[in-house]
Structure formats: C-alpha cells, structure tokens
Structure 1
Amino acid sequence: MPVPRTPVTAIAVTLLALGLPTVVAPAAVAVTAGGTAPALAARAAAAPATVTVTGDGSAVGDPDIALVGAGVEATAKTTQAALNAQNKAAAALLKAVRAQGIADKDVRTESVSLSPVYDYQDGESTLKGYQAAQSFTIKVRALDTTGALLKAITDATGNAGRINSVVFDLDDRRPLQARARKAAHDDAHAKAAQYARLSGHHLGRLVSLSEGGTGYVLPMPPVSADAPAGGVGGPVPLAPGEIRATASVTAVYELD
C-alpha cells in the first residue's frame, strides 16, 4: 500500500528528482531533545522571575566573663636559680587567684619558658643569665571582681608579675550569634520585599538561602601586653563594654 505523501515530502521528492539540495522547513521538526518547541516556549514563559539579595545583621550583648592573661618572669645567673624564682612567683600567683574564689578548672597554663639573656655591646654578646617565665589564662565569672583579681596578682608576685591582657567575652556565644543571623535573615527579606514592590510584583517563596559569614567583636580594655604587675595601688578600674556578633546571608526569592 503506498505511503501517503505530505506536501513537504512531495516537495523533497521533486527536488531530489531534479538533483537539487533539499531544505527541511523548521515547522517539519516536531520533536527536540527537550520536547516540542511549543512546550519549551511555554516552559520558559512559565519560569518565575527571581530576586537575589544580601542581608546583614548584628546583635550586641553584655559580656559575662573576663579572660585575664597573667604570668611571672624571673631572671638569675643560673638556670636553676631562675627556675626557682619563677616557680616561687607562680605558686604565689596561683595562691592569690584561688583566694579570689577562682576554681582550678578556670585556670590554665599557657606557656613555660627558659631562655638565656645576653648583653650586647660593641657587636659582642655576653651571657648575663637566664630568664624563666610562665603564663596563665584565668577565667573570671564574676566580672565585678576582675579589678580586685588583678590587684591580688600584683600584690602576690611583686616585680615578677605580669598582666598581659584582659578580654571580656561571653561564656556561650551561640545565643548572640543566633540573634545576628535572625537580623540578617530579616534584612534580606525586607530588601527582597522592597524590590518586589518596586518591580510591580509580590514576593514569592524563598528559593535558596546561604550564609555568607559571621563575625564577633570583643571589647578590649587598655591593658598593655607584658606590663609589669607591680605598683598597682588598688583594684584596677575596667570597662567591660559590649560584644557584637555579625552575620550575612544571600537569599533568592521568587517574584509572583
């Protein structure tokens, strides 16, 4: 039974008979790799518009702990003499810290060192002795006792004592960071809603959300590193300040 010929097929046969090249009309291509051409066009038309925004947020809180960096140093002619003097001063420091109600779990040794000390003159070095040192980090849970602790350390260690730093912090940073993330999320949503209004749309569903980064800013009072602890006449006045957590997000919303 002969196969019926469409007009396009008949034209192609005629061209072949005449020895001429054939060209298939676009309308004759009914199926593509992704579906029919009308279906692809409809799908593209149905894809919703989107808006991409970044949101920034922060939250502040009052510190509830202080981290005190303190230590002792001693110099002597021999290594044993330097170590003995350092050990005596360190024991006095720890005794004073415990007397202030600081638990042993909140005191940590950070470093112990012993090194030669040289005198340099006219391009030549002469061994003067040895320096032994030990440093500690002390967590103070009652902030209003921090100044008294510093005085207690200086009274106990004299010229061998060192106050290296005082940093105010939060014992648990997570709640403050969570507030910063919420602020960043709300900022992104508000920006997206504004862009939707400006473009004559309504804000649709959230398509994606990614965190760009977080930050944490600690207050740092003016206590100079490696400052000798001796000579402090009373409790050191300190200002805890406030702690700031930051966050940023990138959000993609559909526009209806």
Structure 2
Amino acid sequence: MRSLLMVSAGVAMLGLTAPAAAQNMPAPMHMMPHDGTLLTVVAEGRTTRTPDLATIRAGVTTQAATAAEALAQNSTRMERVLAALRRAGVAERDIQTASIQLNPQYRYQENEPPVITGYQAVNMVSVRFRDVAKSGSILDVLVREGANNINGPSLSLDDPAAALDEARRDAVARAAARAQLYASAAGLSVDRIVSISETMEGAGPQPPMMVSARAQSESADTAIVPGEQDVTVTLTFRFLLK
C-alpha cells in the first residue's frame, strides 16, 4: 500500500494511507506510483543580476484657459522632449506613448454648480534606457527641455533567460538535497522524481521610484544606481521514496 509524505512550509506529514493521499493529492490515479511513498518538496532557486534596463515615464503637463491652447502648448513642449531623447541616442523602438489626457479644471463653491476655469493637458511617454548609467543624465536634459512629469525608473533585465536557468538549477539542487534528507530521516531512499512544476518570480521590473521634476532641475547629474536584483524560480517536486 502506498503512502504520502508531503513537505510544505517546513511541515512533514508521514504515514498517510492511500485514501488520505487521494484526498490531499488530486492528481489522476493513473499518475500515482503503484508502491512507495510520495514526498512533495517546494524549493526556491535564486540568483542575482545587475539590472541592465531602466524604464521611465516622462512627459509634459500644461494648463491653459481653453482646451485647444492647453493641447497646443503641450504639443510644442512634448516635441522638444522627444527631440532631446532622440539626440541622446534613445532608439525609436524604446520610445512609446503611454497616455494622453485632456481634463477640465473646475472651481467649486458652496451651493453653486462647478465652473470650468481652464484645461489641463498631459502627454506621457514610456522610455527604455539600455544604458542605465546614462539614464539619470538624460532625465536632467529632459527637464531642461520642458518635461515636468517623471515617474520611475523601473529596473529590470533585458534578457533574463540565463539568470532564470541558473535559478532553476539552484532549485533542483535544493530540492534534491531536501528529498535526500527526508528520505534518510524516514529510513527510505529516493527512487525518482514523479513530477515538477514551476512558478517564476523576480524576473520582471522592480517597483518604480518616484522622481520629481523639481529635484531633477536642481540636480547637476541625477544618479540612478542599479544595484542587484533577485531572480527567483519556485519549483514543486514530487519524489517517489522506497
């Protein structure tokens, strides 16, 4: 009769009978081994990399008495911002319109309906910097050219594939060592791996920092420090112990 040994969050459950195993493990019965004990191990593999891609949202916010005037002023200043990005060597594929907004501005008074006092236009672009070290100085240029709305950066890896594979190997090694430990403690040996499933974490952009336009304009050279980023993969293994 087979039994189930499940390890999750540091808790081991030993000696479950086949009905209990069927209740806790919803896998089809034809996938279950004919004999032996099942051990479930969740292992996180981890590695670190220095981010090589910075994504920043930059744009222009303008206000005027009429919608047409607000948009016209915004368009003029935004053209200067886009021209500055191109002069700095940012490729067209790394510049993308993120949002365009035109909103009326109201004056509110008690017991009176709102009155439109003007219009606000906002135009934002998402910019990817493939040289993180230079992105801070480019932000300074953007502010001088009229950008007054900047969010970011979000730091990430341009190609995380190699880092993810390294994290996977780390997870496999951790899971195998843990399976050997539990098998030895239970007086059994690891026969084979029954199944593996994967959950990825930490390969995408990190939460952005907020960068104010005022701080940018007063800075001679805004520094963006990439630091290190964790790349993690969580693998769930089912081992057969005998």
* TM-score under structure 2 length normalisation: 0.78
For structure 2, the residue ranges without an aligned partner over 5 or more in a row are 1-33
1:221/1:238 contact within 8 Å kept:
no
Number of aligned residue pairs: 206
Shift of 1:218: 4.3
Q: Is the 8 A contact 1:218 1:244 kept in 2?
A: no
Q: Name the amino acid aligned to 2:140.
A: K
Alignment of 1:152 with 2:133, yes or no, is: no
Q: Is the 8 A contact 1:154 1:232 kept in 2?
A: no
User: 2:168 maps to which residue?
Assistant: 181
Q: 1:60 touches 1:242 (CA, 8 Å); kept in 2?
A: yes
Task: Tell me by how many angstroms 1:238 deviates.
Answer: 1.8
Larger Rg: 1
Letter in 2 for 1:129: G
Structure 1 position 162 matched with structure 2 position 149: yes
Instruction: Give the C-alpha shift of residue 221 in structure 1.
Output: 6.1
The within-5 A match list for 1:1-256 is 47-124=35-112, 125-157=114-146, 161-211=148-198, 213-216=199-202, 218-220=205-207, 222-224=209-211, 227-228=212-213, 231-256=217-242
The 2-side partners of 1:123 and 1:112 are apart by: 33
Q: Is the 8 A contact 2:140 2:217 kept in 1?
A: no
Residues 200-231 of structure 1, C-alpha deviations (whole Å, 9 max, x = no match): 222211122222x221164456424xx33563
Offset, 1:118: 0.8
Name the SS for the 2:182 alignment partner: helix
RMSD between aligned alpha carbons? 2.0
Aligned-residue offset at 1:63? 0.5
Structure 1 unaligned spans of 5+: 1-45
Measured in 2, the distance between the counterparts of 1:221 and 1:81 equals 32
The answer for the alignment partner of 1:3 in structure 2 is none
Secondary structure of the structure 1 residue equivalent to 2:58: strand
Distance 1:59 1:254, change over 3 A: same
Change in 2 beyond 3 A, CA 1:75/1:244: same
Report the alpha carbon displacement of residue 233 of structure 1 after superposing the two structures with TM: 3.1
Percent same amino acid at aligned positions?
A: 30
- The letter of the residue matching 1:156 is E
Aligned residue for 1:19? none
Is the 1:89–1:161 Cα contact (8 Å) retained in structure 2? no
The runs of at least 4 consecutive aligned structure 1 residues that moved more than 3 Å come to: 217-222, 227-230
Q: Residue deviations 1:48-68, cap 9 Å, x none? A: 233222212222111111111
- C-alpha distance after superposition, 1:122-162 (max 9, x if no partner): 354221111111000111111111111110000000xx521
